[in-house]
Chains A and B, each alone.
Chain A
Amino acid sequence: DAGVIQSPRHEVTEMGQEVTLRCKPISGHNSLFWYRQTMMRGLELLIYFNNNVPIDDSGMPEDRFSAKMPNASFSTLKIQPSEPRDSAVYFCASSFRGGSNQPQHFGDGTRLSIL
């Protein structure tokens, strides 16, 4: 089992640039989550999808952030334009949402630094 795969692992870019983070969930999982982790705020849910449909995007900070899930095996989180305060570790997680609760499996995260 390959686990949740995120890319890139690290990203350093200048403010104003577009940043795209990628996630491949575990095969067969139908829920996908994007989280952000900072020292100040800890882990926060940004958005999650069930069966490729966005269910709750109330955690998305502002219009500069957007997320898509074009199919069951791929999702992107895009920041345009990026700002230094977006620097954080971004985690993707997936789970199977069925009749009973199933644990979420996390990727290794993308460490993003905006200069």
Chain B
Amino acid sequence: KNEVEQSPQNLTAQEGEFITINCSYSVGISALHWLQQHPGGGIVSLFMLSSGKKKHGRLIATINIQEKHSSLHITASHPRDSAVYICAVLIGGATNKLIFGTGTLLAVQP
């Protein structure tokens, strides 16, 4: 069983829809990243959070430490949001190590 699991693996949405991507983890963490990767492109860190909720534009990330669960929401989705979204957890303690989920491939159709 992977230490970081994402769902769904693939998601197709119509432009304007509200989108939710989920991430569950089984290890102790000090923080959680949501990353975005466009096809053939680099990786961009969208959020890093260790509690509560963060918002940036149309993107919202939440985390529940007790339930070991995080969600990434996209409001009013747009075709340019089409990308792979990757959840990664920063292992707690002295290490500075990220463990990655397998990613969610999002396609937003016009």
Contact = CB atoms under 8 A, between A and B. Distances in A.
Interface in B4-58: 30-31, 33, 35, 41-45, 48, 50
A11 to B, nearest CB: 15
A99 interface: no
B31 A106 contact: no
B46 to A, nearest CB: 9
B103 A91 contact: no
Contact of B100 (A42, A48, A50): A42
Interface string A57-69: 0000000000000
B55 to A, nearest CB: 16
Contacts of B99: 45
B86 A43 contact: yes
B43 A91 contact: yes
B1 to A, nearest CB: 15
Interface residues of A, number: 23
A31 B102 CA distance: 24
Q: Which 3 A-B pairs have the closest CB atoms?
A: A106-B43, A108-B42, A43-B100
18 contacts: A33-B98, A42-B100, A42-B102, A45-B98, A48-B96, A48-B97, A55-B96, A56-B97, A91-B42, A91-B43, A101-B31, A101-B90, A103-B45, A104-B98, A106-B44, A106-B45, A107-B42, A109-B43
